[in-house]
Amino acid sequence: MTFLKNIPPKSKVKIILIALLILLTLLFSSILAGVLGILTKVPATDSENLSLSFAQTSTIYDQDGQLLENLESQEFRSLVSLDQVPDHVTWAFLSIEDRNFYKHGALDLKGILAASYDNAKEGALVRGGSTITQQLIKNVYLSPEKSFQRKIQEAYLALRLEEALSKDEILESYLNRVNLGQGAYGLQAAAQVYFSKNVEDLSLEEGALLAGVVKSPSHYQPLHRYYKGDPGLRQVDPYDIVDTTQVAGQDMVLVKNPEALKRQKLVLSAMAQEGYISQEEAKKAGQRPIYFKPLDKKPTNLSPYSLDFIEIETARILQDKYDLSFAEAENKVLTGGYHIYSSIDADLQENLEELYRHYEDFLAEKNPGYPASLLDFKTDNRGHILDHFGDKLYLNRDKILDDKGDLLLSQEEASLTEEGDLTLDLDLFHLREDDILFKDLYALDQNNTLKTYSMEGLDLRAEDYALKKDQVLISRAILEAKPDFYQADDQGQVKISRAYFELDSLPTLQPQSSAVIINNKSGAIEAIIGGLQVDSQEAKGLNRADQSTRPPGTAITPFTVYTVALEKGDTLATVYDDVPYKYQGDYWPENRDQRYRGYMTLSQALLNRVSTIPSLLVQKHGMEASLDMLERLGFYKKEGSGDFLVTPEENPDRNDFSLDALSQGNFVKGVNNVYLTNAYRTLANQGQGARPHVVDKIVDSQGQVIFTSQSLKDQEVIQADRAYLIQNLLTRNQQNKNLAPIEREEFMGQLGQTKFNTDYWLVGSIPTHSVGLWVGADSPLLFLSEDPKTVASWYNEILKLLPDGGQLPRPSSQIVQEEICKRSGLLASSYCKRAGDSGQEVFIKGTEPKKTSDVHVRRLICNESGGLATQYCPYESLVYGYYFQRPDKYKSQDHNGVYPEDMGLVPRTYCHIHTEETLNETNQDQENQDPNTNEED
């Protein structure tokens, strides 16, 4: 600094001033650069569409426009205009949150100072320093972190917002956005949640109560929630308990919050101080009691089966419309403020659920002689249910649990090695990645119905055990580290502590069931049951009607086999031979009833649910034709994914491009009840079909219609006349012994069974609706008993819920009816009629047979012996018999040694009763006549 000694004083001052100026410039530049850096990170905003950034509650309505549910989300909100908010409610929020709102320009230094003074005076935080504009910015665009950088961003965005919107627009957005506790965001939602009223009906004391919540929604919310059983409830005054509610399927108790009432009085005092109300009005309002009436966000008692189904379909629609992931679409449904108008008939849905509440009673004691109602299985010596491979499927709860709920394992199931290791039978477990899970348990109740219990655990990490052959080995070191894990008794039994596994307290009834009801005219789903838990309010539970897929069995063959055959030129009278055939070296398939009836028409093959002829038809007409039919019905996509079929590309060894799948319905993955029922709706709608739907219309939060089911226009899936032929054929199923319980005069339907009897389907239509019923155990390895009549009886109970009367679609002018021979498919001859082998059949005009059948013969029979008559048979014993005579030279060795039932119908032996010795003198003049001819009468 010695160089300054020689500088004149005036110059020194100049130099120092210049240096200070440079330093200040650098400091200001640094601050400015920091602020600019902070502002570059300001999130993008759209002030003109501010309300669109708010999460809004979506609502679901039934087909009559009645509210079914407010969808639960993190923010329950309905937007209202400022004009709808009473002045005294607006004043309450301004008084306590921003007294100078209409005076300041986004930032209020005077307000901050005044708030600090009031807080110091009251000895409590009665006012905040942030303006309403700042609060709105913070809540909409910024994170909740408290930092200098965020404050700068908040101030900047607040100034921008005040330039873009008027004060009233900002206040309206704020009142629609503010968090008011209990998941209620905005005044309208809060008015609904606490008082079940609209915002315009809020009283002075109610408005002040809500304004007081803003400071700390968790602390000042008017009601607190307690889970039922919460120890904290013991300290609550019973007079403070307001109501009970459900949140995500959990029962909760609503209790008055005394802190909210204290805060309310501060708000009323602030309103009086600002001159909005008098001190007397504030005092009276603070003394008036608050009457809470919490909103039931789910105003119906409907199970989640229908409501979740609507929500999921809405998400799928939004996913396609906006090209979102399904998770993004689900979130959009919950937060988008959509009005979702469904096709659910609330009364029908409620009646169907009430019917299913009695399913267990209906099932009780069905099928005596079987191990459980409607179920057939074998057990081992411990009573554990075995699958058809001989492996344990369900463990016997009564044998494997003791009175305390600990696992009690026999010597065969658990033992100790000489080294002190514990070995457990591997067949007790499911192996899933690194977890070992105990198989589920079962028990039979007093009505012989089977109930399963889900097991979770053991509570062991992957490194705690090893797998050796057919055992799970837990080392001595692990056991010593967990001394309470097990105990061994003198009989060699091992007891594992309940602390190391979990068991569902509520059992699942088996077999399960699902049902779908679709309106024939609109194609809309009006009721749906996804299982037996109709009283559960658990959200997103398993819906077996939509989310489960099971093989359709013979319920799909009317489409993949018989409709395809009609399209390829066959008629319902085309004849095939029901006998065993070889396929890929084996005699396959076998008929379920082990009967082989011989020559029969297509209609007889379907009605008798034979297995051989469908296999012949798919081989004859090609699997591609069956796949094409499945594509038209929506089960299969040749391009893309998301269908029901497993392709060879997906699994070369086991897929649905096979005769077993296409001719017998034994799909690898299966189909769901919704789509299968919709296929039958196509038949009842003259071959016209569309994608099944439960959402009729979606209106967004701005009132714009973004989807209607009218976009799902019916298209021709099956030519109308062919659809009628199949429909007409399925109406005859009602005379089938298995469907005899169906009491409707107008009904078409088909019973579906799978090859291992794991599933029963009954799907069909009455004039107004198509109904699909599935019955089966959750595990496809648990087989059903041979009792389709029980399923038909339950189906009939469902039909009773639906209107009677009307007619299924009738044939057009292109349909004709002829009496045909069931053995040849030709026009019935007199011989055929007298043999009882004729019947009426329907045809598309021009395809009916023109020739008369000649496959029956006439023989003179002695009615006493049943043999061919001889010259010794008395005249009064002679009758003409009419018989089908197979036209081929059948070789049983080519058909697994089986002789069909229509073989050998023509008698070949003569009467053995009447001989020459017994000849009556009155018959002597006939002894030289030839009694057998083939001439017509």
Exposure b/e, 497-526, CB count within 10 A at least 16 = b: beebbebeeebbbbbbbbbbbbbbebbbbb
Cα Rg of the chain (Å, integer): 40
Q: In the predicted model, is pLDDT for residue 922 greater than 50?
A: no
Give the SS3 label for residue 271: helix
Band of pLDDT at residue 37, cut at 50, 70 and 90: very low
The mean pLDDT of 234-259, rounded to a whole number, is 77
The per-residue pLDDT for 169 is 86
Rounded CA separation 201/799 (Å): 46
Query: Taking 80 as the threshold, does the pLDDT of residue 929 lie above it?
Result: no
- Name residue 742's amino acid: I
CB 799, CB 766: distance < 8 Å: yes
Q: What is the pLDDT of residue 926?
A: 47
Q: What would the two tokens of residue 621 be? A: 């007409």
Q: Residue 36 above 50 pLDDT? A: no
Q: What is the mean pLDDT of the segment spanning 575-592?
A: 95
Decide if 539 contacts 249 (C-beta within 8 A): yes
pLDDT-derived band at 35 (thresholds 50, 70, 90) equals very low
Looking at the predicted structure, is the pLDDT value of residue 789 above 60? yes
Place of tokens 């502002």: 39
Who's near 459: CB < 8 A, 6+ residues apart?
499, 500, 501
Six token digits for residue 590: 């076998």
| Residue 613 binned pLDDT confidence (cut-offs 50, 70, 90) | very high
Average pLDDT of the chain, as a whole number: 86
- Work out the pLDDT band at 34, boundaries 50, 70, 90: very low
Q: What is the pLDDT of residue 147?
A: 47
What is the number of residues in the chain? Answer: 937
Give 15's pLDDT tier (boundaries 50, 70, 90): low
What per-residue confidence (pLDDT) applies to 145? Answer: 53
Three-point CA angle 858, 860, 864, nearest 5°: 130
Both tokens of 639, joined, read 């391009």
The larger pLDDT score, comparing residue 167 to residue 515, is at: 515
pLDDT-wise least confident of 72-81, 402-411, 592-601, 809-818: 72-81
464: DSSP letter: G
Asked if the model's pLDDT at residue 150 lies above 60, the reply is no
User: CA-CA distance, 588 to 702, in Å (whole number)?
Assistant: 61
Q: Residue 41 pLDDT > 80, yes or no?
A: no
State what percent of residues in the chain have pLDDT above 90. 56
- 862, 869 Cβ separation under 8 angstroms: yes
Cα distance between residue 517 and residue 527, in whole Å: 5
Name the strand (E) or helix (H) holding 16. Answer: helix 9-40
Give the HSE-up count for residue 366: Cα atoms under 13 Å, Cβ half-sphere.
Answer: 24
Contact 379, 400 (CB under 8 A): no
Burial of 129 (0-12, 13-18, 19+ CB in 10 A): middle
Instruction: Choose the weakest-confidence range: 218-232, 425-439, 445-459.
Output: 425-439
CB 838 within 8 A of CB 828: yes
Evaluate if residue 17 carries a pLDDT over 80.
no
> Helices 788-799 & 346-356, crossing angle to 10 degrees?
150
Ranges assigned E (strand) in 63-199:
67-70
Most confident by average pLDDT, 291-300, 330-339, 492-501, 848-857: 848-857
Q: Measured on CA atoms in the order 747, 753, 757, 759, is the torsion positive or negative?
A: negative
CA distances from 182 to 186, 237, 255, 257 (A): 11, 21, 12, 12
Taking the C-alpha atoms of residue 339 and residue 703, their distance in angstroms, rounded to an integer, is: 9
Q: Give the model's confidence band at 22: pLDDT under 50 very low, under 70 low, under 90 confident, else very high.
A: low
In this prediction, residue 77 carries a pLDDT of: 76
* 3-class SS string, 426-462: HHHEEEECCEEEECCEEEECCCCCEEEECEEECCCCH
Please give the average per-residue pLDDT across 153-172, as a whole number. Answer: 76
Note the pLDDT tens digit of each residue in 513-552: 999 999 999 999 999 999 999 988 776 789 999 999 999 9
Query: For the chain, first and last CA: distance in Å?
Result: 146
**What pLDDT is attached to residue 40?**
47
Q: What is the per-residue pLDDT for 609?
A: 92
Q: Model confidence over 272-314: pLDDT tens digits?
A: 999 999 999 999 999 999 998 887 766 788 999 999 999 999 9
Best CA proximity match to 857, nearest among 878, 887, 827? 887
pLDDT band of residue 426 (cuts 50, 70, 90) is confident
pLDDT in tens, 852-892: 999 999 999 999 999 999 999 999 999 999 999 998 889 99
Residue 716 pLDDT > 80: yes
